[in-house]
Chains A and B, each alone.
Chain A
Amino acid sequence: MKSTADVVIIGGGVNGTAVAYNLAARGCGKVVVLEKNTLASGSTGRCGAGVRMQWGMEMNCRLAKGSIERFETLGEELGFDGDLEFKQGGYLMPAYTERQWRQFKQNVALQNRLDIPSRLVTREETLAIVPHLSPEGLLGAAFCPKDGHLNPFKTVQAYAEAAARLGVTIRKFAAVTAIIPMTGLNKRVVLSNGDEVETPIVVNTAGPYSQVVGRMAGVELPVHSERHQILVTEPVGSLQGPMVMSFAHGLYCQQTPHGSFIMGVGDPHEPRGFDIGHSWSFLEDVAAKVTEIMPILREVRVVRQWSGLYNMTPDAQPILGEVSEVPGFFQAIGFSGHGFMLAPMTGILLAELILGLKTSLDVSMLTLDRFVRGELIREPSVV
């Protein structure tokens, strides 16, 4: 079947559905979202779903702050009849070395300058915020009470259903196999079932497969994907308010409103690729680390482990905007493990860029060109 659209969005995760909703809310014409599996079946539905304003670089701070402020009222904005399960219990980042403490000091100074309510807390205060944290080796922590986490499946459902009510077409099980340039700006987006959609604008929100979509349009994107593993425990009584994130252990751990703990550790030896399998050594690794800093969790049982992919850029900041050599080809990719938390702003900014409106935030530094210019500063606060 052949059809036409004003915008085709490839990838039905949080970014794809957020861009679709924001386009439709601004009166964009015919918007089509193409998702190869089910909504949120890729990185969005596999992520730790933490949202934090505590970043080490100004752009990430601004994107995250704007996003969290929108998460606070997102359910109402989208007319969602369910619960996004937004728990604003804060993010607590314990420091175990002087070097870390100095980095947090620097980050907090930057964050406060940007009106982010983070602060350094003493060792005693840290233990008052998370009483089950081991005092062993603890110097203090950085804490922002406005950080938190929410349910990524419900978030995507809310965006997608709001977008659909505004007339957006969302197609599940619609894998894109080719993007063929036509005369003028139009492109033919070809699906695996032979269907074609002709459109002047293609938006790449394919997460870990963004480079694959890039190649279909003839663009070699400087990103790669890597597996990150994660687990969830049985639900237990309410114990932990904030997300605890230790850079020393490469560990994050939150307790959902449902009562289960969700946690993961980064593996510096993880090879690049698309593997989303799981390993026993991850289970042992995360268990060893989490019970070292929070011994009470020894008694809690793991019920499930899975993995997802980070789409990494050389500077751990996203690539946003139009590709200069392929007009009409927009990117919202390379979030390097924090695409979920930035999605509300990503959705707004991409819609503004596509419709030629003034952007809510100057994100011109996040275009693909920055890698050609070599203007890279690496974000220090990535797990």
Chain B
Amino acid sequence: MADKGPDTIICRCEDITLDEVRGLIARGYKTPDEIKRLSRCGMGQCQGRTCRLLLLQEIAAATGGQIEDIPMSTFRPPTKPIKLGLLAKARKERERGEGE
């Protein structure tokens, strides 16, 4: 991403810029987990599906390491956003014996 400006968006769900990510790396936060937790990069609707690789590339470039050597963040369910109302309904139906 050497040719991209500091305002380039890395995480589009949470509007996290390249500059913010580089700032955290410079402060010593060099794992995807730390950067995710401090900046919200990858915490949005898509759960990092878009920004994960971009973030890994940035960390690798800054540390001189390989992407495959960087510990990944844990994948958290649910994989796709689900309405609370839908989950509540599923519980009710199961209790009534209508579900599954």
Using a CB–CB cutoff of 8 Å, the interface residues on chain A facing chain B are 38-41, 45, 153-154, 157, 161, 232-234, 258, 278, 280, 283-285, 287-288, 290-292, 297-306
**What per-residue 1/0 map shows which CB atoms of B63-100 lie under 8 Å from chain A?**
00000000000101110011111111011101000000
Of B38, B43, B47, which one neighbours A157 at CB under 8 angstroms? B38
Asked if B88 and A298 make an inter-chain contact with CB atoms under 8 angstroms apart, the answer reads: yes
- List 8 A-B pairs, Cβ < 8 Å: A38-B33, A40-B37, A41-B33, A287-B87, A287-B91, A299-B85, A300-B84, A302-B81
Q: Separation in Å of the B46 CB from the closest CB of chain A? A: 9
**What per-residue 1/0 map shows which CB atoms of B1-45 lie under 8 Å from chain A?**
000000000000000000000000001000101100110100111
B94 contacts across to A, CB distance below 8 A: 284
- Interface size class for chain B? 20 to 34
Asked if A304 and B43 make an inter-chain contact with CB atoms under 8 angstroms apart, the answer reads: yes
With the chains together, A40 CA to B76 CA distance in Å? Answer: 18
With the chains together, A295 CA to B68 CA distance in Å? Answer: 45
Using a CB–CB cutoff of 8 Å, the interface residues on chain B facing chain A are 27, 31, 33-34, 37-38, 40, 43-45, 47, 74, 76-78, 81-88, 90-92, 94
A284 contacts across to B, CB distance below 8 A: 87-88, 90-91, 94
* A288-B92 contact, Cβ under 8 Å, with A303-B44, A304-B47: yes
A306 contacts across to B, CB distance below 8 A: 74, 76
Asked if B87 and A302 make an inter-chain contact with CB atoms under 8 angstroms apart, the answer reads: yes
With the chains together, A306 CA to B77 CA distance in Å? Answer: 8
With the chains together, A53 CA to B83 CA distance in Å? Answer: 32
Asked if A283 and B33 make an inter-chain contact with CB atoms under 8 angstroms apart, the answer reads: no
Asked if B84 and A297 make an inter-chain contact with CB atoms under 8 angstroms apart, the answer reads: yes
With the chains together, A305 CA to B78 CA distance in Å? Answer: 7
A154 contacts across to B, CB distance below 8 A: 38
Q: Which 10 pairs between the two chains have the least Cβ-Cβ distance?
A: A298-B85, A287-B87, A301-B81, A284-B91, A287-B88, A153-B37, A304-B76, A291-B88, A287-B84, A288-B91
Of B33, B74, B77, B84, which one neighbours A301 at CB under 8 angstroms? B84
Of A38, A258, A302, which one neighbours B84 at CB under 8 angstroms? A302
B78 contacts across to A, CB distance below 8 A: 283, 302-305
With the chains together, A154 CA to B49 CA distance in Å? Answer: 24
Q: A233-B84, A287-B84 are in contact. List 9 more A-B contacts (CB 8 A).
A: A161-B27, A258-B40, A287-B86, A290-B88, A301-B82, A301-B84, A302-B78, A303-B43, A303-B81
With the chains together, A232 CA to B86 CA distance in Å? Answer: 16
Asked if B83 and A298 make an inter-chain contact with CB atoms under 8 angstroms apart, the answer reads: yes
* A291-B38 contact, Cβ under 8 Å, with A234-B45, A278-B76, A303-B45: no
Which among B43, B86, B87, B91 has the highest number of chain A CB atoms within 10 Å? B87
